[in-house]
Amino acid sequence: MKRLMILFLLFMLAAAIASADLSIHFLDVGQGDAVICTCDGKVMMIDGGRPESSQMIYSYLRDLGIEKIDIMVLTHPHSDHVGGLSAALSSCDTGIIYTPIYYYNDPAFLRFRDMAAERNLPFVMPLSGTSFSFGDARVTVLAPYKLFGDTNDNSLVLRIAYGTHTFLFTGDAEVPEEQEILGSGAEIASTVLKVGHHGSGSSSSEAFLKAVHPKIALIGVGPGNTYGHPALDVLSRLRDLGSEIYRTDLHGTVILTSDGKKLEITTERQPTGEEDVYTLSWAMLTGAAEEEHPPAEYYVGNVKSQKFHLPECEGALKMSEKNKMVFDTREEAIAAGYQPCGTCHP
């Protein structure tokens, strides 16, 4: 049914895409990010969602008639970004792979790395501040400038400029990386922002959002996810800036097309009834989510970073005793103002 709807949507859009030169498909891959961009016959893919999204990625590329991905971008090696890229790699010729990292100890990443090696595709780390062309569009690399301890904060951040519009993709960058970007003095005001880290409260600081000042904000998030995404704070900051929000949990796949002047948006579905894009937070969905997410025995908070971890997470194991704060439940940790770790997703 979902596939039929997507096919219908693609059919409806075929004419629009044919006349528009840039298209950005922000795919509904549940909790994760996957973006397919086309520009003047060139294809760039940014992230591929979780491994479970592989079939969807494969079908979507086939339905668009894509046989070659000129530029493949892995923003960072977490499985909700790298997972479905292996499917893309196996079904399409690929020109170049950009990623900020060569090694990460996670099965989904290692599988992707092995597949890339089999195809003689080295990982290329683009330098921040440089740019490359993508059809008639220009893509600037905004980060990372320096490597942080947190994998999310090493996300490759790209800004696409096409005609009068700009599109900013931030991966899972959190506040420290946002500060780096702000400090670099790079131009970051953008028409469209792919909101960092699925709308998490550990990203999208007020200063960063103000500087970007997006007309349109895209959030890749699964319904009833247990990570606390998107955070109400982030949604209300975007509302205050007058940004229109599109969320994959409510809108499904979102497609933007532009001829360089006009910008058109089509969504797989429209939120109805109580589903308000600005007020429907994870908190209202946790009842459903808790069943899918068995509780851990306890959670370890870090009083300094204000993040909390599963007991077996490296973040908890390496934490110095004096920074530890133990919570019996994740709700307790969240009520105390702690954010879930981006690596162990407690």
Binding region for Zn ion (CB under 5 A): 78, 80, 152, 172, 342
Residue with tokens 């792979």, as numbered in its chain: 97
Please report how close the Cβ of residue 39 comes to Zn ion at its closest, in angstroms.
Answer: 25
Kindly tell me which of 172 and 249 has the beta carbon lying closer to Zn ion: 172
3-state secondary structure of 218: strand
Please report how close the Cβ of residue 141 comes to Zn ion at its closest, in angstroms.
Answer: 18
Kindly tell me which of 214 and 342 has the beta carbon lying closer to Zn ion: 342
Kindly tell me which of 80 and 178 has the beta carbon lying closer to Zn ion: 80
Residue 170 and residue 159: Cα distance in Å, rounded? Answer: 9
Kindly tell me which of 22 and 224 has the beta carbon lying closer to Zn ion: 224
Residue 223 and residue 199: Cα distance in Å, rounded? Answer: 13
Please report how close the Cβ of residue 4 comes to Zn ion at its closest, in angstroms.
Answer: 28
Please report how close the Cβ of residue 119 comes to Zn ion at its closest, in angstroms.
Answer: 25
Alpha-helix runs per DSSP H in 92-205: 107-118, 175-184
Residue with tokens 């949507």, as numbered in its chain: 9
Please report how close the Cβ of residue 184 comes to Zn ion at its closest, in angstroms.
Answer: 21
Sheet with 299-302: list strands edge to edge. 324-327, 299-302, 307-309, 339-340
Check if the beta carbon of residue 222 is closer than 8 Å to that of residue 192.
Answer: no
Beta strands in the chain (DSSP E): 22-26, 34-39, 42-48, 68-73, 93-98, 123-124, 131-134, 137-143, 157-162, 165-169, 192-194, 216-219, 244-247, 254-258, 263-267, 299-302, 307-309, 324-327, 339-340
Please report how close the Cβ of residue 250 comes to Zn ion at its closest, in angstroms.
Answer: 18
Q: Which residues pair with 133 in a beta bridge?
A: 138
Kindly tell me which of 39 and 230 has the beta carbon lying closer to Zn ion: 230
Check if the beta carbon of residue 319 is closer than 8 Å to that of residue 300.
Answer: yes
Please report how close the Cβ of residue 111 comes to Zn ion at its closest, in angstroms.
Answer: 17
Check if the beta carbon of residue 243 is closer than 8 Å to that of residue 215.
Answer: yes
Residue 33 and residue 76: Cα distance in Å, rounded? Answer: 11
Angle among Cα 2, 8, 13 to the nearest 5 degrees reads: 125
Kindly tell me which of 17 and 34 has the beta carbon lying closer to Zn ion: 34
Please report how close the Cβ of residue 174 comes to Zn ion at its closest, in angstroms.
Answer: 9
The set of residues, in sequence order, having a beta carbon less than 8 Å from that of 137 and lying 6+ positions away, is 22, 39, 40, 160, 161, 162
Kindly tell me which of 39 and 168 has the beta carbon lying closer to Zn ion: 168
> How many CB atoms sit inside 10 A of residue 195's CB?
30
Please report how close the Cβ of residue 33 comes to Zn ion at its closest, in angstroms.
Answer: 6
